[in-house]
Every structure is written in structure tokens, then in C-alpha cells.
Amino acid sequence: MKKLVILSALFVSVLTLAFAAKGNSGKQPQAKEAKVEVYYFHHTRRCATCNAVENESLKAIRLLYPVQLKSGKITFKSVNLDDKGSKVFADKCKAEGQSLLVISKRVRIDLTDTGFMYARSNPEKLQEELKKRIDPLL
Amino acid sequence: MDILQGILDNSEYSFITAIMLGLMTAISPCPLATNISAIGFLSRNLNDSKRVFLNGLVYTLGRAISYTGLALIIFLGASKMNISMLFQGWGEKLLGPVMILIGLFMLGVIKLKFPGLNGLTDKIGEKGRGSYWSALLLGMVFALAFCPYSGVLYFAMLIPITVASASGLYLPVLFALSTGLPVIIFAWLLAYAVGNVGKLYNQIKTFELWFRRIVSVAFIAVGIYYVMIFFVP
């Protein structure tokens, strides 16, 4: 009898574990789909700060999310607003001229002011801000 | 610049933010060419420092009109996206031809007589003392010529705090004042210094004439520079 109880307990726990694992694996593809797009919009003529915003945010993302960047979960795109093909992206992101934007399915985060304030004087702060905003989206 | 940024970071009051953004616009290397041209233009009346100062104030008023006008248009519901794209994309491109034209007017190469605009050439040209209208127009035009950095300071930082409520519409005036202040100070100093050298040699009229010619040539040169960076591949 004792053996039977132990056996059935084991059976139940194995079943529970199996279902739990299945539940987890069910969530996995969903997480993979969650994609974060970082856009940097600019014009052909760019100032030193404008270049720094692009370089520093790309550097930060490469440093913070190397795996996600490789798997395509996070993308970084620099778009020249003077190019003809840029309109599609500008409309999609509702870009208002030069801007640094984080776009996910649910949200549009405008980091233009943070980018321009800190890209040259304090890039760590820009990196920190990017992490703070992107982490919850992943 | 770092000091200004520090103040901006810790500022809780939007009026301080507006003033800091204005100063950052004024001293950033980006609109330097237009600022230097403005300094030259405003200090043309070498022997009359009061006039130079008043010219500077009127020039700043011109800037305030443009900045507040744009903010008002956005506040009243125009798409910020369209306005911002238009001025950030085109403001600086049109600057080159406009500056070459102003330079040619000042040199007296071009003479235009429009009905109602009698003697425009005389007003901004060599002979005239320069009316306040020319300083006002110059302020308005230069304010609209957003360079990449000043465009972001204005559209991405000043406009959001300005259009948040009707009570914020005074902020572009403060912004304009602080973008104009360094120009006023330098114009006044330049007029004072060159004027005194002129007086020393008892040749103030000749000095003034040549100073105007130099300023005109500077306008044309800066204009050509802007045309080159945008239109010459």
C-alpha cells in the first residue's frame, strides 16, 4: 500500500512537471515574436551630436543585447529622412524629424531628448535609459 | 555647454529650461555661421552703439515672432510632424540663396523697387542706415533656418513643454531672448571696438562703408557655403 502511494505521488509529480514544461514551451515562441525596433531618423546633413546619438545608441544596444540583436529580437535601423524610401518608416514610427525611437507592438517610446542630451556628454546615461525602456518590452 | 546641461538637468521650472535651451542653441557650433552673419549685420552702424543695441533687440524680437508663431500653429492643432519635417528638412536649405540675396542687396548689386516696398535696397543697402524692419526680418528668417542640433532642441524639447498648455506659450519668447542675447552682446562689442578704431583715425564714415562691404561679402560667402553643402554632391 505504502509503495502504491509513493508510486502514485511520483506519477502525479512527473505529470505535473511534464505539463509545466509544456506550458513553458508554449510561451516560448510568443516571447520570441516580441520584437523591439530601435530607429534613428536623421537628415543628410548631420551635426556632431547627431552622429553621436546614432553611434552611442547602437553601441549601447550591441553591448546590452548582443544575443537579441543576433537573433533579430531587437533591431537597430538608421533612416535618412531625405531618402525617398524613408517615408514608410517615418509614417510607421510617426517620426517628427530627427529622432531616436523605440518601437514595439504595444508602444512607441521617444528618446530623442535623452539621446541629444547625453550622447556626447554622458553616454552611460543614454545606455542606462535605453536599458530601462527596452527591458520591460522583452 | 556642460554647465548649461547640468542646469537643464536639474531644472524643475520650464522657464529655466527654455532659457537654457536657447543658450545651448546660441553657442552650439551648428548655427555659428548664421550667428556670425547676424553679428556683422547688426553692428553695421559702427558709430551708434545705441542703434546697434536696438537693432539687436529688434532682431531678437524677429526670432521670438518666428518661434512663437510656429509654437502657436502647432498648439492650434497643426501636425507637429509635418511642421517639424518641413522646417528641419528645408529651413537650412533655403538659407544659402536667401543669404546670397541679402549680401547682394547690401552691396547694392541688386536693386528692386516694389510698389509698397519703396527703397528696400536703400534700407538694407550701403547708403541707408538700415531700417529696423531689416533686423526684424533677418531675425525671423534666421530663426526658421533650423540646423540639425537646434531643430531637435526646439522641436523635441521646447515644443512639448510649450504646447502642453496655453500658459506655456511665453516660453518661445524666453528661448528667443537667450538665442539672441549672445548675438546682441557680440554685435555691440564689435561695433564699439571697430567704431573706436575708426574714430581714432577720424575716418568713421569710411570705416562704416568698408565694414558694410565686408559684412555683405561675408553674407555671400556664408550663403555659398550653405548652397555648397546642400546642393553640390
Kindly report, residue by residue over A92-131, the tens digit of the pLDDT: 888 888 899 999 987 899 999 889 888 888 899 999 999 9
Whether B177 shows a pLDDT value over 90: the answer reads yes
Does the CB of B230 have a partner CB in chain A at under 8 Å? yes
The distance from CA A2 to its chain's CA centroid, rounded to whole angstroms, is 53
Query: Which of B85, B92, B152, B155 would best serve as a mutation to test chain A binding (most A beta carbons within 10 A)?
Result: B152
> Sorting pLDDT into bands at 50, 70 and 90, what band is B111?
low
Whether B10 shows a pLDDT value over 50: the answer reads yes
Helices (H), chain A: 2-33, 48-64, 66-71, 86-93, 112-118, 123-134
Q: For residue A137, what is the DSSP state?
A: G
> Sorting pLDDT into bands at 50, 70 and 90, what band is B18?
very high
Contact state of A47 with B5 under an 8 Å Cβ cutoff: no
Smallest CA–CA separation between B131 and chain A, in Å? 34
CB proximity list for B129: less than 8 A, separation 6 or greater:
B45, B51
> Sorting pLDDT into bands at 50, 70 and 90, what band is B62?
very high
Rounded Cα distance, A99 and A38, in Å: 10
Contact state of A96 with B147 under an 8 Å Cβ cutoff: no
User: Of B73, B59, B49, which is closest to residue B26 (Cα–Cα)?
Assistant: B59
Contact state of A112 with B152 under an 8 Å Cβ cutoff: yes
Does the CB of B6 have a partner CB in chain A at under 8 Å? no
Going across the sheet that includes A36-42, the strands are A74-80, A36-42, A99-103, A108-110
Rounded Cα distance, B89 and B94, in Å: 10
Contact state of B151 with A98 under an 8 Å Cβ cutoff: yes
Whether B116 shows a pLDDT value over 70: the answer reads no
The distance from CA B160 to its chain's CA centroid, rounded to whole angstroms, is 23
User: Model pTM?
Assistant: 0.78
Rounded Cα distance, B32 and B222, in Å: 10
Rounded Cα distance, B137 and B139, in Å: 5
The residue type at B164: A
Greater model confidence, B4 or A43: A43
The verdict on ipTM greater than 0.95 is no
